[in-house]
Structures are given as C-alpha cells and as structure tokens.
Amino acid sequence: MRSRAVRGLAVLGIVLGVSIVPLHRVAACDCALTDLPEAIREAEVAIIGTLAGAAAPPLRPGGAAEPTEHVWNVERARDPMSAITISIAAWPDDGANCGITFGADERWLILAYQGEGGLETNGCMHNTRLSDAAAEDLEAIDALVATSVAPGSVTESASEVPPPLLVAVGALAVVAVISFLAFRRSGPGSSS
C-alpha cells in the first residue's frame, strides 16, 4: 500500500514538473517556423535598410496604440525598386504581441507584406538586425537581397506605354487613314 502511494506521488510529481518546465521553446507565430531564405522569398518586400526615423501614431480611444510608421533608407532590395526610402508600419514590441523594436541608425533586413494601410511587418517575419546576424544568415541575405537601390538605379522605359493608350492611338490612326483616303477620293478633280 505504501509503495502505491509513493508511486502515485512520483507520477504526480513528474506530471507537475513537466507541466511547469517547458520542454522546448515555442514560437508565438506560425511564420517564425520558416527558415530565413524561405521567409525572404515569400515576403512581398525584402530590403536591407537603415532606420531613418519613426512617427508614432496617435493613441486610439481607450489608450491602445496603432502601429508605428518606420522610414527606412534602402540600401539593397530583393526586387528592383526606384525608391530610396520606404515606409513600413510595425507594432511596438510589448512582450505579448508579435511586435518589434527598431533603433535609430541600425541596419536591418526588413521583410514586409501589403496590409490594409500600406506595407507592414512584425516580429515573426525574420527581420534581422545585421550587426547580430549569424554568418550563414548573412550569406543568405547577401545572396537573396542583392539589388542595389540608389537614386535613378531603376529607370522607367519610355517604350513602356500602357496598352489602353496604344489601342486608342491605333484606333485614331486607322480613322485618320480611312478619312484621308475617303476625302481624297471625293475631293476636287476626282472622277465619279
């Protein structure tokens, strides 16, 4: 009987111990489970930039904060872009959300998606402060985010005319040619 009680207490101790001590670290967001190269490929925007400034939004009724707009000086991007600055919103990190905190003049890999009010990011998106990045992460970042961004680095081609405009100009040209031929036939000196 005594061994049954000891065994019961031992099982209870193990159950309580396992429930109190975490067996492994749990990610708060599902997207944190992707690896860095995959996260870079899947993001709608991937840049390397230096934080130029942030504009804290006004508080909502009840004291709740809105996401902060961060302005980044863009150095490199995954995809060609003409802007040398970009604004990306992020919730401030309060420990209970997927927020993130950036410091002035820090260089970061920033991954963003198109939200309702513009580009947004969060703490689950593998944003990486480059000064803290591991060597293998820096290699992946350098390989995947390699397009230099500078004023005038992406130029709009003059030959890129919107298709509806081409159709309209073509239609006008056809009408002009038909009109020219019709008036030429019916003009003075024509035999009918």
Q: What is the CATH number of the domain that holds 139?
A: 2.40.50.120
Q: Is residue 171 part of a domain?
A: no
**For the ranges 43-47, 104-108, 139-143, which has the lowest average pLDDT?**
104-108
Q: Is residue 189 part of a domain?
A: no
Query: For residue 108, how many other CB atoms are within 10 A of its CB?
Result: 23
With bands split at pLDDT 50, 70 and 90, how would you rate the model's confidence at 23?
very low
For 67, 113, 190, the CA distances from 119, given in Å and listed in that order, are: 11, 6, 66
CB 74 within 8 A of CB 84: yes
36-69 tens-digit pLDDT: 999 999 999 999 999 998 887 666 666 666 788 9
Query: For residue 82, how many other CB atoms are within 10 A of its CB?
Result: 12
Q: Write down the pLDDT at residue 172.
A: 74
Q: Is residue 73 part of a domain?
A: yes
Token pair, residue 139, equals: 């290699």
Q: Is residue 62 part of a domain?
A: yes
Rounded average pLDDT over 101-110: 90
As for how many domains the chain has, the answer is: 1
Looking at per-residue pLDDT, the higher value among 17 and 55 belongs to 55
Q: Is residue 33 part of a domain?
A: yes
Q: Is residue 102 part of a domain?
A: yes
146-172 tens-digit pLDDT: 999 866 544 343 345 556 666 667 777
The domain of 89 spans 29-148
Quick one: what percent of the chain has pLDDT higher than 90?
36
Rounded average pLDDT over 26-42: 72
The whole-model pTM stands at 0.59
With bands split at pLDDT 50, 70 and 90, how would you rate the model's confidence at 21?
very low
Q: Is residue 63 part of a domain?
A: yes
Q: Is residue 8 part of a domain?
A: no
Q: Which of 36-64 are b and which e, b meaning 16 or more Cβ less than 10 Å from the residue's Cβ? A: bbebbeebebbbbbebeebeeeeeeeeee
